[in-house]
Structures are given as C-alpha cells and as structure tokens.
Structure 1
Amino acid sequence: MEWTRRRTLACAVGIGTTALAGCLDDGPGRSLSETPTGSWQQVAHDAANTGVSAVTVPDRGTPAWENGDAWEIPPLVADDTVFSVATQVDALDARTGETRWSVDLDAETGDATAPAVTDDALILGVTGRVVAFAREDGEKLWETNIDGVAAGPATADPDDEVVLVPFRRREQGGLVALDVATGDTEWTAQLRVSLYSVPAAIREGRVYAAGYREDETSVLRRYSLDGGTQDWETELTEAETPPVVTSAGVFISDGGKLKRYDHAGANPEVLLDLTGEERTLRGIRALAVAEETAFVLSPDGLFAISVADGSRRWQASVEPLATADSICIGNKTVVVSVTSDEFDTRWPCVAAFDRADGSTRWYHSVGKSFDPTLGPTAIADGAVYFLSNTVDGVAALGDLPPKS
C-alpha cells in the first residue's frame, strides 16, 4: 500500500442522509466484552513479516468502538493497548477505545510511516528523522535526524536491539539501522526501496530486504544485522511484496510469481504463478506464511498454497482493495479487507475466512457512505482492528450482539 496516501473524506458536506449513515456521528461506541490479549507489534505482526499471530479471531465481526487520528497507517496492538498514528500518536485502551495518552508528531499529513512497538517503546520514521516514544506514557525517549524521507514501516529485531527504517534520499535510498535504546545509527545499507517491497524482514541475525540497485534492477538481498554487511543478492523481475522469512525459507512475490528461496538466496522455487499477458495490476498484493501454508491475496482471489509442493489447498473468490495490502492469520482464521461477489454487498468488507478450508466465517461492510475505503487490519484475541474513511481513526470489531 502507499503509506503516504492522504485520507479520502467520506462525510463531505452535501452528501445525502442515506450516504451519511455509518459516518462519525453515527458510529458505534461499545466496549468489547473482554480485554483482548496477544500482540500485533509490527505491520506484518513480527520482524520476519509472517503475518501470523497465535490468537483467536472473534466468531463475529460486530462493531464496537472507534477512536484515534489514523487514516492510512495500520493499527498496532501491544498487550492491552492499540496505537493509532497519523500526525499524532494515540494510545488507546484495546477493550474500550479510551485514549490513554496522545503526543503530537509535529509532522504534516503523510510524513510519518508505520511504527514498530518494542517492549518499552514505539519507534517510527518521520520526514528527516526517527523518533521513539515510551510505550507506557508517550514520553519522547530519543530523536535522530536522518537525511531523507521515511519510506516505509519500521522493523524491530526480536531482541529489541536494532530497528530498521527505510529512507528515500536524493541520490540513493537506504535502510537505516538504529540502536533501539539510544537512537544511534548503527549502519546504513544502500538500497532503493519501493512502497510495495517494505518493510525489511529480520530472522536469526540476518536482514532480508527487497528493492532496486542503482541500475534499476529489482533485487532481493541479505545483510548481517550486526554491521549491515551484504551476504548475498539475487535479481528479481519485480518485487511486489516485502520478503517473508520462516524456517522453510525466504518467500517473496516476484512479478506475479510466489517464489521461495533457501536462506542463502539459492534454489528458487515457484509455488504459485499468477502471471498473464493481459494483467495490468500487480499479480500478488499481499503475502503471509504460517507453518506449511502460504496465504496469497491477488486480483485472482485469496489462496492457501502448500509450502512443501506448491499445491493449492483452497481458493476464495475475493478482490483486493487498493488501500489494504495485508493478510492477518490467526489460529483458525484468515482476516483480509476485500470485496466479493459471494457477499451480499459490493461495499468493501473486513472479512474472516476459515484457515483450513477457506469458507467465509463473517464479513463486516463499511458501506453506506460516499466512496468508502478500507485499510490494513490487525488482530488480537477477541478483536479485529481496522482503518476506514467511514470511521473515526481505528475501529474495533468483536464478538458482540448486533446493536439494537
């Protein structure tokens, strides 16, 4: 997704009464029945970009609360707190949506990018700087000036020692690695990143990043986390998703093909090929990998693919949204923001599918307004959090009875 896309205003002056239904003044305001547990502390849940969390998605997707200032930066969840980020950071109670603290980023719309949440801090890139706030009360911990424009989500390593933030610069973009505790710059890797290929992934002391060389060739690289030394590079046709790294290898969408490499960047295998002569859109829009199954969101649908042999386990007939390139995998459920002819509405929906067979469990429409949009989601035990121009900031769905 384009992380600097400006929010579309859904409730503009002059829209009729019917179109206004579901906008801010008519939004839900209920607490979830229990405090959600679990965490979604980076854009793709973890440092490896797997998109997988060991949580139980609610059996129903009933609207609960909405709050915060976010409109394009995905929500994050850490224990009992949800973080909303736009020109300010809001820490919200995960059950009630009440604001715990709020800090101004002193930034323009679109300047900030998605943060990473560590045990102690929330760290994000802003144009010309990286800043860290205390998770508990929003106190500024440090700020580091960086030449360039923050170009994508931050990635914190599993040990909370290093955070990576991609930047664009006049001559050559790069990954900037900073010390989580102090904000000191550890190293910079020269790699021009795209909006589709960030964030970088970290696993077992190695950084996996997709981007471009100076000659515009699309590449996948591996660096050492300690020092940023480049270990290997392999050329791609066109990176369409960030890399995902598991014990089974390195996964990435390359020009409409889901590829898996070994951890040394060798022995590529094509697990799914969605290329076509008439295709004008990206062949694969989002990727998540859980155990022995890769989940792929594309204009051709939502797929579950065997990591072992590339066989298709199931396919759901859905269409991705331009503003929501993400997949959230829970214990038994896959959550995506899509439209589908299988639903009783063509409005954008937050939808939950059975992880085993792809059957639809529930969907929540964000229609009833002018040109509704949906952003990426985050999941926790008992809750799904999402963005839409039809709600106020972050909205929560849970297992609640319909509002009377």
Structure 2
Amino acid sequence: MSLKPEWTEEIDTVPDAIQYHPSPGLLVVGTDTEGSSGPRIELLSAAEGTARGSIETTGALRETEYDPTSGTLFAITDDDHVYAIDPERGSRLWDAWAASVATVADGRVFLSADRTLWAYDISDGSRKWQTTLPDSVAGQIAQLAGTLLVGVGDSSIERVVAVDPATGEEQWDYERERSIREAWFTDHGVYAQISARDELVRIATDAEATGADDQAVSPLFDPDAGTEQWSYSLNDGSVLGTTVSVVPRSGRVYVKESGTVSALDPESGSKIWQSPEYDSFEFFSIAGEALYGVVETADDSRFVRLDPDSGRAMWETEIRTTTTVTDRLAGDGGRLYVGTRETHRDGSIVEDGPAAYQLNAVTGRIDWTFETDERVAWIAGDGDPVIVGEETSQIHGVDADSGRQQWSSSGEYLHFEAASDRRVVVVGKGDEKDLHVLDRADGTVEFATTSEVYHTGGGALFASSGTAIEAYPIASQPAVFASPDDRSGTNTEVYPSSGESSGETDVYEAREADAEEAVGWTDSETTAVSYCPNCGTDLAAFGDVNFCPECGADLSTE
C-alpha cells in the first residue's frame, strides 16, 4: 500500500457522509447522529483539510447543493430541514423546514415538502410566498422561460403545474386521466410520456423557449398554455419495448418503437424520418447529437451509427451483442468503446462469448477486440490503458493502441467508482464493500479501506478512518490540491460515476435494463476537438471553430 494521504484532519466524532463541491473548494462532512455532540456539519477546506466551521443540525446530512451565483451552500438533513450556509466563513445563514431544494433562480431558492412549495430570499432567508400544490411533489422542478414547472402526483407524476416564481400563483395545470410516466422540461418545450406508453405529448407553455446561448429559437407563445400542442401515438405492442429520448440542447425527439427508430419534429410532432434500413433495433442511445443503436437479427448483431438528419446508417459493424457503450472523442478522430455480454436478450448463448471492442467512431471500423469471461459491465475509455470491468470479479488494463492485456485484477463484484490518468477507484458490491485504489499503469493496489464513507472529486479520494478525514491523490496533478491560480490549467480531473464534476466523464455504467429501457448516457465534454467526429477532417488548420468547414457538423459543447 504505497499511496499516502495529502492531508489528514481529525473531527470530533465519526462521519457518516462526505460531499465535495469544487467551486468553493469545500468538503462537507456529516457527523454521526449517535455521537455525544449530536449531528453536525463540519466544513473543511478540500485543498488543505483545515476547518472552516461547524454547524449543529437537527438531523443527519442527506445531501448538499451549491449555488454559484449567490455563493450559498444548501444542506438538507434527513428530518426535512434546509440550512443555508456561507461556505467561506463556515457559518449558518438561516434555516427552514423543507424536504428538498427544488431550484434556484433570480436570488431566490425554491423549497418543497409534500404538497407545499416555498420561495425564500437567499440573502436573508425571508419567505416570499408559500403555495399549496394539487398533489405532492413527485418529479423534477425546473424554471423554464420565466415559469416554475412542477411535476406532482401521489406516487408518480400525474400532472404538471406551472407556478409564477414571483408570486407563487398557479398559472396552469396539465392533468391526464392516466399518470405521466416521464416528463422532460427542456429549453425547447415540455414533453410528457403517458404511463400507459400509448402517447407522447408536448405541453404548451406561455413563454418563449430559448436556446443554449439564450437566443430565441422558436416562438412558443400560446394562449392555451397548459394544453397539448400535439400528441403522438406510440406502439406499445412490441416485445422490444418503446422508449422516448429528448435531446435537451437541440430539442430533437427520438422514439424507438416496434424495433424502429423515428425522429419527430418538436414543433408539430410529425415524423421527420423513420430508420429506413432497420426494423429490429434492440436498443438505441444518444451521445451528444450522435445516434447509436444495436440491430439484432437471427444471424448476427450489428452496431450502427445513424445520421440524425435522415436516419440512414453512417456505418454499421458486426458485433456479438451489446450492453455497454462509451464514446471518447480523441485526437485521432474519435474512439468508441463497446462492451458485450455472453447471452442474447432471449437468453441464448453468444457463440463467441463476451468482449470489449474499440471502434473508430468516424468509420465504424473495429481497431481491436478484447475477449472477456463475463459480461462487460463498464469501460473507462478516458486514458491509456483502457480499463475494462466484467460483471463480477475481473478488471483488465488494456493497451489503447493494440488491445493487448497489460494487467488483470480480481475482487468480489468490483464496481467502478472513478478514474483518472494515474489511478482507478473500484469498490466491492458483495459482502465485502472494500474500496480499492489501483495504479492505472499496472493494476497494483496502492490503497484499500473498508470505510463506506467516501467521496471522489477534484482528482482526489476523500475517505473516513475512524474520526479522521483523509484526502488521497487520484490524478497525477489533482485540481483540488492546486493553488487557485493553477486550477484552470491542465490539471487532470477524476471522472466520478456520480455527483459533481468539473471535468469530462467517459465511463457509462451499464444498467440491468429490460427490453423496454435504453442504456443511459452522460454527456461528455472535450476541451478541444482536433478532428471532426462526423467526417474525420483534420481541424488544426482552421483554428478555433465550432463547426466543421467540410461537412458542417456542430462542434460546440454544452
């Protein structure tokens, strides 16, 4: 065990939660409710471990949210209290009874609990209004073009309510006889999928939607706000299931039903295209604006990339069957990693067994295939070697250029936690939940702990050891330990599987999805794109551009 902590800080009692916020450089530690001093929140400098303050609470820390505009930290405890905290001074500003922080906008924070929604002034904690909703808050709350949208229902979203954020008055209430299975509040409109899966609707709002740059992209002023602008009938009779995907940035709507994929016009709900070449998609996923899918036939499985404008195949590659996909835009034009499993959806055995593939994202050509014993559960394609994790016990370091195994490590149900250029963090999912830090180059275990209280972020691992908090470097140059002047440089960031991150994420965890679910994606960002991911054009000669001069592909990032 060669990894030493960057710093160690003793606190008064045993911690039961650790959370990290990069912008204020803050580590928030919730302490044991059974301790002699009762539950508290300890605030530490994430860079040095020095104490910033201690706040007594009435319950155990559940979650925290940081508002960069006001510089305020909100801490929520398990007894439904919200504490507004000054993260620099480590002091409590005010507190209120509420179960969650809904959203923050225009100097106000919106809190909710059961059927009640409140607006508080962030600066002094004065309550501006309180309103009672038609039902309990059951889904996301978001502010869209001057309207506060709330999903409410008994156990799931059954209606969408629009509230005036200035007064708390209800503006409109959208309700259906059947509950809403899923709702999307995007800059380009409000969409809802009815739980029976037979209908997708777009709900009219009374304000103008804006694009990524706060420029109006389409007028949505409608005197019938809260009514349906259009309705699209979904086919629920297919064993392959029905899934709906709404791309927040562009507003594009995609539907996979009866094995086909279709694109809908977000303004009218009319079908722009239906995949003309395939009618047996097993699943369909989106990475940025790139469309990927798996077509499974009786003879083989094909991994395809679709043109978002026409639905036609840009390329197709025969593989065994797929479950895990990760997209890495690299300097060589783009690498795509695909992991497969040992059985088809119908339970039949894949003849050649599971494997991890590296493909050229532009051409679809397979660069290499790495054989595994069990289903590929996750792939960390953000560095070299590429890390391939199997379903239960095996982790492999695979050379990014050749596909040859550089090392292998085993443990009980190892689950991906974080990765950087220097190290990989994994944790057991079985009876032994030990956390391990591996050297990315050779797989050596540099650190291990049985603590279940830890957090990764800023290129570091923060873990408890008794009453001590220890900070370990995961990246070669952890951003969290750098001076403020150095943090905007080339420091490598840890890419966590959940929680806050200021860097890019290139690992996409496979879910135990049934045939009705699509594999989830997390948007990734790149600081520079040297080759067009669409046509492969070398962009070095064109300087800083946000579109490809050859094919016109959009190269801008969120």
TM-score in terms of structure 1 length: 0.52
Quote how far apart the aligned CAs of 1:168 are.
0.8
Q: Specify every segment of 5 or more residues in structure 2 that has no aligned partner in the other structure, as ranges.
A: 1-12, 26-45, 207-224, 294-321, 340-375, 398-408, 428-434, 436-448, 483-558
Q: 1:155 aligns with which of 108, 131, 142?
A: 142
Indicate the SS of the match to 1:153.
Answer: strand
Quote how far apart the aligned CAs of 1:256 are.
9.8
* Distance of aligned partners of 1:288 and 1:258 in 2 relative to their CA distance in 1, 3 Å threshold: farther
The alignment status of 1:165 with 2:232, answered yes or no, reads no
CA distance in 2 between partners of 1:372 and 1:275 (Å): 41
Q: 1:351 corresponds to which letter in structure 2?
A: A
The alignment status of 1:220 with 2:200, answered yes or no, reads yes
Aligned to 1:141: 128
Aligned to 1:315: 337
* Distance of aligned partners of 1:127 and 1:242 in 2 relative to their CA distance in 1, 3 Å threshold: farther
Aligned to 2:109: 122
Indicate the SS of the match to 2:84.
Answer: strand
Q: Is the 8 A contact 1:83 1:90 kept in 2?
A: yes
CA distance in 1 between partners of 2:193 and 2:480 (Å): 43
The alignment status of 1:267 with 2:272, answered yes or no, reads yes
Q: Is the 8 A contact 1:113 1:150 kept in 2?
A: no
Q: 2:229 aligns with which of 228, 231, 234?
A: 231
Aligned to 1:12: none
Quote how far apart the aligned CAs of 1:151 are.
0.8
CA distance in 2 between partners of 1:348 and 1:97 (Å): 37
**Structure 1, 82-91 or 236-245: larger mean CA deviation:** 236-245
Q: 2:479 corresponds to which letter in structure 1?
A: D
CA distance in 2 between partners of 1:134 and 1:83 (Å): 13
Deviations 1:81-115 (Å, cap 9, x if unpaired)?
34333522233456x69354352325xxxxx4561
CA distance in 2 between partners of 1:255 and 1:131 (Å): 44
Deviations 1:314-343 (Å, cap 9, x if unpaired)?
2376748xxxxxxxxxxx99xxxx987358
Indicate the SS of the match to 1:181.
Answer: coil
Aligned to 1:328: none
Q: Is the 8 A contact 2:138 2:155 kept in 1?
A: no
Quote how far apart the aligned CAs of 1:261 are.
3.0
Indicate the SS of the match to 1:245.
Answer: coil
* Distance of aligned partners of 1:228 and 1:28 in 2 relative to their CA distance in 1, 3 Å threshold: closer
Q: 2:115 corresponds to which letter in structure 1?
A: G
Quote how far apart the aligned CAs of 1:399 are.
1.7
Quote how far apart the aligned CAs of 1:287 are.
6.7
Aligned to 1:243: 246
CA distance in 2 between partners of 1:385 and 1:120 (Å): 33
Quote how far apart the aligned CAs of 1:129 are.
1.7
Q: 1:25 aligns with which of 11, 15, 29?
A: 15
* Distance of aligned partners of 1:316 and 1:123 in 2 relative to their CA distance in 1, 3 Å threshold: farther
Aligned to 2:418: 351
Deviations 1:353-404 (Å, cap 9, x if unpaired)?
8xxxxxx676555734577799xx9x9xx69999x9x99xxx9x962359xx
The alignment status of 1:103 with 2:95, answered yes or no, reads yes
Q: 1:222 corresponds to which letter in structure 2?
A: R
Q: Is the 8 A contact 1:210 1:218 kept in 2?
A: no
The alignment status of 1:187 with 2:267, answered yes or no, reads no
TM-score in terms of structure 2 length: 0.40
Q: Is the 8 A contact 2:287 2:327 kept in 1?
A: no
CA distance in 2 between partners of 1:314 and 1:182 (Å): 49
The alignment status of 1:301 with 2:283, answered yes or no, reads no
Indicate the SS of the match to 2:272.
Answer: coil
Aligned to 1:84: 75
Q: 2:82 corresponds to which letter in structure 1?
A: V
More contact order relative to length (CA 8 Å, sep ≥ 6): 1
CA distance in 2 between partners of 1:255 and 1:78 (Å): 44
Q: Is the 8 A contact 2:138 2:154 kept in 1?
A: no
Quote how far apart the aligned CAs of 1:144 are.
0.8
CA distance in 1 between partners of 2:102 and 2:193 (Å): 20
Q: 1:201 aligns with which of 180, 185, 202?
A: 185
Quote how far apart the aligned CAs of 1:252 are.
6.8
Aligned to 2:193: 211
Q: Is the 8 A contact 2:252 2:264 kept in 1?
A: yes
CA distance in 2 between partners of 1:100 and 1:255 (Å): 55
Q: Is the 8 A contact 1:114 1:152 kept in 2?
A: no
Q: 1:233 corresponds to which letter in structure 2?
A: S
CA RMSD of aligned residues (A): 5.6
Indicate the SS of the match to 2:117.
Answer: strand
Q: 2:127 corresponds to which letter in structure 1?
A: K
Indicate the SS of the match to 1:400.
Answer: helix
Q: Is the 8 A contact 1:262 1:268 kept in 2?
A: no
- Counting only pairs closer than 5 Å after superposition, residues 270-281 of structure 1 correspond to structure 2 as 276=282
**Structure 1, 181-190 or 233-242: larger mean CA deviation:** 233-242
Q: Specify every segment of 5 or more residues in structure 1 that has no aligned partner in the other structure, as ranges.
A: 1-22, 37-60, 107-111, 277-282, 307-311, 321-331, 354-359
* Distance of aligned partners of 1:89 and 1:287 in 2 relative to their CA distance in 1, 3 Å threshold: farther
Quote how far apart the aligned CAs of 1:140 are.
2.2
- Counting only pairs closer than 5 Å after superposition, residues 308-387 of structure 1 correspond to structure 2 as 314-315=336-337, 319=377, 341=395, 348-351=415-418, 364=425, 367=435, 368-369=449-450
The higher radius of gyration belongs to 2
* Distance of aligned partners of 1:274 and 1:190 in 2 relative to their CA distance in 1, 3 Å threshold: farther
Q: Is the 8 A contact 1:348 1:372 kept in 2?
A: no
